[in-house]
Structure 1
């Protein structure tokens, strides 16, 4: 039988905590629920496409009922569940305000495939679940890292645009609100006005975070009542 020596016991005492630390770090970076993965934000009301899918189906994304009840979330989860689990990371860096040059028509909702192609399912036209709003409504950012904002730009699709059949382009949008700056906070809410609309539209929010030249591009589906 092998006898454990004092040197071996000492080595195990040193190595074991190191190995535990490495495993812990791997779990932190690989888990979609880790604090590091969540250290950004999105529009939660009216819910962004990927946040809404995560909120409704994140703990039940294998439920076959999703295909009939929420078909656009279903196709997004089929493409890659991380698009929803990592709902807070639709950002681009160092664009210096050149948003149209960096993000082509048809790719606005994925921020030009900001997650390495994982989020392209968010660009697909279809029956996305909507939030009912009036011509005056509030936009609520939830930011787990409290980046603050240099500004928000909020666009709404023009009357006649059909999100169920049309891919979103820059010329489909009308700017309805440009805010000033906001200090760091986990929740930022502001009001916008978008009169003269009815039915299904897309609210497109550009959030310029304050900590870096980091810009978020967020599609929220609404139903003007």
Structure 2
């Protein structure tokens, strides 16, 4: 399930309703979005990818068949997508495994009152094709920079379509130093020995305060 393009039927009334709904949701959640920062946009985080593919068409029933994991996420809480840049926890103090239980890694330990719980759902999330060496692209709207990034990839043999993600399923493949404030940060990652569907798990410690982001991106190593 790797194709990120969709041939969608023309449903102009639904599109108009979707755009109106999107506007209302954006207005309702504006305060939270304005104070948030960003996410990994390539390979796309789960909620950014759902927003990117379906934000202007999220009421289209075709999503249920074409992109079922995004469908369940939109049904659970649309604000997880409108606020794709707000999946963080404050005051973790670097003790990530104590703050985030197994099975809740993609929601940041059910952060923001459970807004992102749908991102922990097990199933065939849409993937981005990558090679052994690839680049993560962070879009940081607030330009707060980073104290560090920790980049993990699931071990070979882990199956994201049937297994819930835990810390023991991850291998640390990149640990960075600090980055100056910027809206765009690139992180080169090198792996080996992987094939098929994996989860890239990125921990981003923002530099302006003790605020940490927990980001799941689904990839396919081919």
Q: Same fold (TM over 0.5)?
A: yes
Shift of 1:190: 1.5
* CA distance in structure 2 between the aligned counterparts of 1:57 and 1:29, rounded to whole angstroms: 15
Aligned residue number for residue 46 of structure 1: 43
Aligned residue number for residue 154 of structure 2: 157
* CA distance in structure 2 between the aligned counterparts of 1:115 and 1:68, rounded to whole angstroms: 29
Aligned residue number for residue 33 of structure 2: 37
CA contact (8 A) 2:38 2:142 kept: yes
Aligned residue number for residue 108 of structure 2: 111
* CA distance in structure 2 between the aligned counterparts of 1:196 and 1:204, rounded to whole angstroms: 17
Shift of 1:118: 1.7
Does the C-alpha gap of structure 1 residues 121 and 29 become closer, same or farther in structure 2, counting only changes over 3 Å? closer
Q: TM-score, normalised by structure 1?
A: 0.85
* CA distance in structure 2 between the aligned counterparts of 1:198 and 1:213, rounded to whole angstroms: 35
- Structure 1 stretches of 4+ with a deviation exceeding 4 A read 27-30
Q: TM-score, normalised by structure 2?
A: 0.86
Structure 1 regions of 5+ residues with no counterpart? 1-26
Q: Which has the larger radius of gyration?
A: 1
Aligned residue number for residue 68 of structure 2: 71
Shift of 1:31: 3.2
Q: Look up the SS of the partner of 2:72 in the other structure.
A: helix
Aligned residue number for residue 56 of structure 1: 53
* CA distance in structure 1 between the aligned counterparts of 2:163 and 2:215, rounded to whole angstroms: 17
CA contact (8 A) 2:25 2:79 kept: no
Deviations, residues 159-186 of structure 1 (Å, cap 9, x unaligned)? 0000000000000000000011000000
Deviations, residues 120-155 of structure 1 (Å, cap 9, x unaligned)? 110011010000000000000000000100000000
- Greater mean alpha carbon deviation, residues 54-63 or residues 35-44: 35-44
